[in-house]
Structure 1
Amino acid sequence: MRLGKWGLCVLLMLPLAGCLGGGQQTVAQPVAAAAPVEAAAPAAAAVVPEPAPAPSPAPGPADQTATAAAPASTKPVADWGALFVAGDNSIKAFDNATRRFYAIIERKPDVNLRRLTSDPSIAPSEEEIADVGTIDASLGFITKGQNEKCLVFMTSHGTRDGFYLSQANGTGGLLPPRVLDQWLDNHCGVRPTVVIVSACYSGIFLKDGMEQPNRIILTAARDDRPSFGCGAGETYTYYDKCLLDSWTWAYTWTELYDRTKACVAEREVALGAKPSEPQAFFGDAVANLEMP
């Protein structure tokens, strides 16, 4: 049974195990609640549509001539809509990754972009703070046309139950795969869609309906493995750095996955860590999808 758009929830978990950095486990601060509970997503503000304009009178002959002579619009149609989400502000690595990835895609022609942070001190407005309602609304923003392919990049801590959002509901919580799946259905539909989830145990985002023929999904780890590089002194997590460094040299999503996975494995061997084993899914309908 699928979730209604406004009935989505974020599952609060106490405490939250963070990613591993420099071989040592870091633990995000627990949310301020008396006990682990399941909390309903904050109610989204009602969107009041603007009143429809009054119909214009039928054009006369002169008006018709002017209309016929008017040149067609030359505004380009966006090829991609891209959303970048930094889910936690306990370290700078997550915002560093979304900022750099945004800058890469921003140089491409004909894209709709939105970047969300979990650091209120740098967010231009509340609409740019990563929370349940803002992620949902931002997916609607980047797909406001009819032709945009969808790209979603999310980086944060994670658990076996979801992706951590430190600002969710004002206290922090988890975004589970089934909720993201519902949002993607609502806003991206059957359009080509690429989802990149960088977090511990992010292989869970290959479950709960996420694997669709029109989707490519890349994750930083297996569903039972942590990922690395979440230390306070790290500029990027291991996976994010490998992904961003590989982007310039990759021509296909498959090649990007292979290069990123090999890079991560090399860094983990040097660390002496148990492999995180990044995962991927390539839907049949998008097996040859071009990168933006």
Structure 2
Amino acid sequence: MTRQRAGLRFRICALALGLACGLLTATPSLAAPFESWAAVVVAGDSKGSLGGPTEAFDNARRDIAKAFSGLGLAPAQIVQFSVRPEAERAQRPQKSTVRGIYDSLGAMAPDAAGCLVYFTSHGDPRGVLVNDQILPPAILGAMLDRSCGTKPTVVVISACFSGVFVPALAKPNRMILTAARPDRTSFGCGEADTYPYFDACFLSALSQVGDFIALGRAVGVCVRDREREAGLTPPSEPQVWIGPQLRPLLPLLSFPSAPSR
């Protein structure tokens, strides 16, 4: 064998070995694609649609955080916010404030591979209620720009009129999932409700689908069916927006409990 051919063979072998090592290195991240993400889960109110106390938002906040843990996030990577943090010592949520949410995102996002942001609360055409403040779409958009930046980001707003957030939050690296159109209410925020309808459907769908694209479709179908069964009109029509940079990535970010295909 000539020296040139031997050198060529060595380079080919080295290249093949490098590719194999790269694949082995990438395997753990594909097995748990959310393990290095950061999440905030916010219950923005504790009153029902008639003004009395409700556990619906805190129930959703608690179980959404648990579901995010099931995606591979460690407890330290999930910060929960509640209007009544003193009522729950086990989960140790922080007090729901706009500043607190922004500070938590700012602290976690720099070291995270992506961001999960979930609000469950009342809303109106101006934005989503966080304790006694309305968080407008433009302010939440600025918070995400400054914390999560261009990292893959999934934002879920479970509130009446939450479709108002889509135009302000729409960026190539983001998915936005809202409980209603900009001009519609959502349902299930009463004093006796366990979860808002949208949150119940989100939790149910997580165990039935493989990724966030399928989740958005499944939640919309579930909400539509529940509203029809209850005779509620007009329908809330949950909204889904997925940025062009994030769309091809989402199927790779499969849920650990995804059903076999």
TMscore range, shorter length: 0.7 to 0.9
The residue matched to 1:134 in structure 2 has which SS? helix
Q: Any residues of structure 2 matched to 1:86-165 within 5 Å, and which?
A: 86-90=43-47, 91-111=54-74, 112-122=77-87, 128-145=94-111, 147-165=112-130
Deviation, 1:120, is 4.1
Deviation, 1:140, is 1.7
- CA distance in structure 2 between the partners assigned to 1:198 and 1:108 by the alignment: 20
**C-alpha contact (below 8 Å) 2:80/2:93 kept by paired residues:** no
After superposition, give the CA deviation of every residue in 1:80-121 in whole Å (9 maximum; x if it has no partner): 101100000122111101100111222343541110111143
Tell me if 1:218 matches 2:177: yes
- CA distance in structure 1 between the partners assigned to 2:244 and 2:85 by the alignment: 40
**C-alpha contact (below 8 Å) 1:246/1:256 kept by paired residues:** yes
TM-score (normalizing by structure 1): 0.68
Deviation, 1:138, is 1.3
Deviation, 1:236, is 0.3
Count of residues in correspondence between the two structures: 210
Deviation, 1:207, is 1.9
**C-alpha contact (below 8 Å) 2:45/2:121 kept by paired residues:** yes
Going from structure 1 to structure 2, the CA distance change for 1:227 and 1:176 (only over 3 Å counts) comes to same
Q: Any residues of structure 2 matched to 1:245-256 within 5 Å, and which?
A: 245-256=204-215
More strand by share: 1
Q: Note the residue ranges of structure 1 that are not aligned, 5 or more in a row.
A: 1-75, 167-171
- CA distance in structure 2 between the partners assigned to 1:236 and 1:126 by the alignment: 20
Identity of counterpart residues, as a percentage? 38
Deviation, 1:143, is 1.4
Tell me if 1:202 matches 2:167: no
Tell me if 1:186 matches 2:146: yes
- CA distance in structure 1 between the partners assigned to 2:93 and 2:58 by the alignment: 16
Q: Note the residue ranges of structure 2 that are not aligned, 5 or more in a row.
A: 1-31, 48-53, 256-261
TM-score (normalizing by structure 2): 0.76
The residue matched to 1:151 in structure 2 has which SS? strand
- CA distance in structure 2 between the partners assigned to 1:126 and 1:113 by the alignment: 11
More helix by share: 2
Q: Which residue of 2 aligns with 1:263?
A: 222
- CA distance in structure 2 between the partners assigned to 1:144 and 1:203 by the alignment: 28
After superposition, give the CA deviation of every residue in 1:31-69 in whole Å (9 maximum; x if it has no partner): xxxxxxxxxxxxxxxxxxxxxxxxxxxxxxxxxxxxxxx
The residue matched to 1:281 in structure 2 has which SS? strand
Q: 1:83 aligns with which of 27, 37, 40?
A: 40
The residue matched to 1:276 in structure 2 has which SS? coil
- CA distance in structure 2 between the partners assigned to 1:127 and 1:257 by the alignment: 27
- CA distance in structure 1 between the partners assigned to 2:45 and 2:117 by the alignment: 16
Deviation, 1:79, is 1.9
Going from structure 1 to structure 2, the CA distance change for 1:152 and 1:243 (only over 3 Å counts) comes to same
